[in-house]
Amino acid sequence: MEPEKENVKITAELLKSRTGEFDLESILFLKLNNLRICNLGCIGECVNLERLDLSGNEISNLAPLASLKLLTVLNLSANRIINLDPLSSCENLQSINLAGNLISSVDALRSLIYLKNLESIRLQDKICNFSNPICMNTAYRSTVLELFPNIKVLDGERVSGRGSDLYQLCKDIDASLKGFYNNDLTCELLGPKRWVEKDYWEFKPVLSTAIADATKKFYDVVKECRQLNSTAADAIAVTKRTLNTMN
């Protein structure tokens, strides 16, 4: 029998090795999923972090995330989270995935109502079969929408803004069809989609204009040096031939 792996604490060394950055403040995107992390450690020092994926770990205490003021996208699915209070300080948060945790009541979500930029909340994921105890309540959906009247997406489905009417129409049609047919031919229309694309968490650096200009100038100088070197070599060869003729 293989020894059971130990739970992990986030350290500066772990963050630097995963990102290749020497300075924690330089980290913008961070993917730390399925690492058996139980302690968020020094992650709060990544103060410029914008996207964070901590899915599939053993996390229960979110206190270190309170200092991440620039965080816009947060994936905490498949953890052991009950209390969301520290997230009330993440004032720029726009999208959060909490599917597959231990959130059991609406009261646990109230700390998120202060996040004015919050547009998308996921508490259950039918594709990955993740949920929360709160989702078992028959009034779950209406209660959450009442608590967050300004969100645009709940559990992967548009509830307001562009496309929301189409989602509702398809759900009504689907419900009607299920009332008439109870066989395998009935399928759900426009069901929830994946939360983000697979390469969403991959950081793709873009060269700034200044760096691009400097790179071009460097290669221009190298090219000019090669031309000068060639000219100098030709001049030396001519001089040698002249000296040989004189001798």
Tell me the three state secondary structure of residue 18. Answer: helix
Q: Which residue has the higher pLDDT, 212 or 79?
A: 79
pLDDT of residue 108 exceeding 80, the answer is yes
The whole-angstrom separation of Cα 117 and Cα 91 is 7
Identity of residue 12: A
Q: Which residue has the higher pLDDT, 40 or 202?
A: 40
Vertex 215: Cα angle to 47 and 227 (nearest 5) = 165
Residue 241: both structure tokens together: 């031939």
Which pLDDT does position 136 carry in this prediction? Answer: 95
Domains in the chain: ranges and CATH: 8-162 (3.80.10.10)
Q: What is the pLDDT of residues 144-158, one digit of tens each?
A: 999 999 999 999 999
Which pLDDT does position 94 carry in this prediction? Answer: 98
Q: What is the pLDDT of residues 25-49, one digit of tens each?
A: 999 999 999 999 999 999 999 999 9
pTM attached to this predicted model: 0.69
Q: How confident is the model at residue 196 (pLDDT cuts 50, 70, 90)?
A: low
Which pLDDT does position 164 carry in this prediction? Answer: 47
Which pLDDT does position 157 carry in this prediction? Answer: 93
Q: Give the DSSP letter of residue 180.
A: H
User: 3-state secondary structure string, 104-168?
Assistant: CCHHHHHHHHHCCCCCEEECCECCCCECCHHHHCCCHHHHHHHHCCCCCEECCEECCCCCHHHHH
Which pLDDT does position 233 carry in this prediction? Answer: 73
The whole-angstrom separation of Cα 149 and Cα 147 is 6
First to last CA, the chain: 89
The whole-angstrom separation of Cα 81 and Cα 79 is 6
Kindly list the distances between the CA atom of residue 110 and the CA atoms of 93, 105, 132, 188, 223, in Å, as whole numbers in the listed order: 15, 10, 16, 31, 63
Which pLDDT does position 71 carry in this prediction? Answer: 98
The whole-angstrom separation of Cα 69 and Cα 18 is 22
pLDDT of residue 81 exceeding 70, the answer is yes
CA-nearest of 8, 67, 63, 6 to 32 is 8
pLDDT of residue 79 exceeding 70, the answer is yes
155-176 burial, b if ≥16 CB within 10 A, otherwise e?
bbbbbeeeeeeebeeeeeebee
Q: What is the pLDDT of residues 57-66, one digit of tens each?
A: 999 999 999 9
pLDDT of residue 110 exceeding 90, the answer is yes
- Percent of the chain surpassing pLDDT 90: 60
Which pLDDT does position 22 carry in this prediction? Answer: 92
The whole-angstrom separation of Cα 105 and Cα 91 is 22
